[in-house]
Amino acid sequence: MDSFLDVLPAGLVTDMRDLVDEGYPNDRLTVPTGPPYQNGERDLLDSSDAFSVGLKVKSDGLGVNHSVIMIPAAYDWRLSYANLEVRDQYFTRLKMYIEMAATTSERKVVLVSHSMGSQVLFYFFHWVASPLGGRGGDGWVEKYVDSWINLNSFAVYGLEKFLSKEERADIFRAMPGISSMLPIGGDAVWGSIEDGAPDDLPGQEQSFATLLNFRKGDNWTAPAQNLTVSGALDYLFKTSEDWYREQIRSSYSHGVAETTAEVEKNEHDPRKWINPLETRLPLAPSLKIFCFYGVGKPTERSYYYRSPEHSASTKLNITIDTTLTQGDMIDHGVVMGEGDGTVNLLSTGYMCNQGWKFRRFNPAGAKITVVEMPHEPERFNPRGGPNTADHVDILGRQMLNELILKVAAGHGEAIEERVVSNIRQYAAKVKVYEE
């Protein structure tokens, strides 16, 4: 298994404001990137170039007696996943490159995805099998894919990006691809006002269950109560323009499928394909999934909001309350929890440690191996050094590169699980159950 597919984001833009044009979801992206396989673009905002080069160099020491093929599969993260195919034929090209790599090497491929790329790849697994997409059938992944290396798992950005600071909110809402990272699973995953959140700690003063919190003030008004994830999403859609609400609801889904019948029905609904709690893994019994992600770095978990100071000059109803800081837990309106500095622990760890143990979400019994890497940065290294677990900088971590190369060289079975966080205790409290 010597064929690598590197699924990482691409599409550097010069001025994000140029992208805002609510009328044209495919063509409004005025900074041209073109189909990623034609121009070979890489996102200069992350370290994927150094990551790929490092893998090529280190592969020489693995004792592999054949060449390692690496194919970058950069995508335009601004587009909704469906429109990646409409505009760039992205998934058609991805399917062709995987088939080519597997055919020419006579070995199955290893897929590597990072952050949002993991959601793109999960969507692809459904698209490639579906008669609504690549028409490869349920046996396609089993035939062509040996392993999926899932780095930092499913990214979930806080709603803060979509609600505060008017210009930034406009930009984020104008790029439907980013909206794929809105929280999924609702209160069953993220917690309720009555029962708290799965990742609440003993003696914690404030539960993580309320994603949006509002202080009362003399000079501003606020919603009558704090909002959980479900309430926050409803609030976002109620206060957004019609075009944005329709774009998201026609592209994505955020619920939980409670039965096998519902999961199988969702295989025919492309809106569900990004959501691992509404659809299943491929029917590929020999597929091996490796979840490698960072832990131990303070990460956004919930927020405090207030009304804008100059409400007459903005379209926003609320903005983040940057005046609020309390100890280590609340930093300028942001309530900190556990994670990799960008994506919180429930997002990176739940499906790998718990969700894919449920038969309806993993009916073929794909083997899943989890390795958590604690954040151990060097004090004076701006990128954290060889033991960082930061969401992006982890791509340069020595241990991670060695693990990836082991899988690529066919020695993935030698990798031992390592879970150092409390994710399994948290996951057991999530209100998603076996059928």
d(CA 311, CA 220): 10
Residue 108 φ then ψ, to 5°: -70, 160
Which residue type does 391 have? Answer: H
Residues serving a catalytic function are: 115, 340, 391
Tokens of 140: 């396609």
- The b-or-e profile of 60-89 (16+ CB within 10 A means b, else e) is eebebeeebbbbbbbbbbbbbbbbbbebbe
d(CA 43, CA 127): 24
Cβ distance 303 to 337 under 8 Å? no
Q: How many CA atoms lie within 13 A of 6 on its CB side?
A: 28
